[in-house]
Amino acid sequence: MKRGIRSAVAACLFSLPVAAAAPSEYEVKAAFLFNFSKFVEWPEGTFAGPGSPIVICVLGENPFGRLLEDAVRGKQVNGRELEVRQVATSTAGCQIVFVAASESAKEVFGKLSEEPVLTVSDGESAAERGAIIGLTLDENRVRFEVNLVAARKAGLKLSSQLLKVAVRLIGRF
């Protein structure tokens, strides 16, 4: 029963439409980044301590403006607050890295591939190019693909509820 409720909640969280009078594309993507943090288990030792925040870093040009900070303000996941940072190059201390489409994403994904970092991008074919999660637009709806090989290489455990609502899974676990 609990599993069914969790799956229904996950489906609702990850199927927000992008349309007129609805949230903007990047409001939805900001909500996705927050929600992804609920469905990822990082390896032991990833965080400095039990009260350390989950740090979401935006690498490169920030398409969110203040939307991402607004989406996570005052929220917690598993007792951890969320913090947003804009970074130019260094992703040290980041648990989630959003790679702007303007960045040389494949190079970034390669550098972070064995780090316990959830890489997310909305660049074209992002999951195929090495991002763990690639955000896509399909009929004005934000969707996502998951690269299982990249997740395993990074040592991240992704919840089955997250995988169920992905539009495409790349590779095998």
Q: What are phi and psi of 112, to 5 degrees?
A: -95, 0
Average pLDDT of span 22-48: 95
- Confidence class of residue 172 from pLDDT cuts 50, 70 and 90? confident
- Confidence class of residue 9 from pLDDT cuts 50, 70 and 90? very low
DSSP conformation letters of 79-139: TEEEEEEEESS--TT-SEEEE-TTS-HHHHHHHHTTSS-EEEE-STTTTTTT-SEEEEEET
Average pLDDT of span 62-76: 96
- The predicted model scores a pTM of 0.86
Average pLDDT of span 138-166: 96
Mean predicted lDDT score pLDDT of the chain: 88
Would strands 141-147 and 133-138 be described as parallel, antiparallel, or unpaired? antiparallel
Average pLDDT of span 63-82: 96
Average pLDDT of span 9-35: 73
Q: Domain total for the chain?
A: 1
Domain that holds residue 120: 2-170
Question: Bridge partners of 55?
Answer: 83
CATH of the domain at 47: 3.40.50
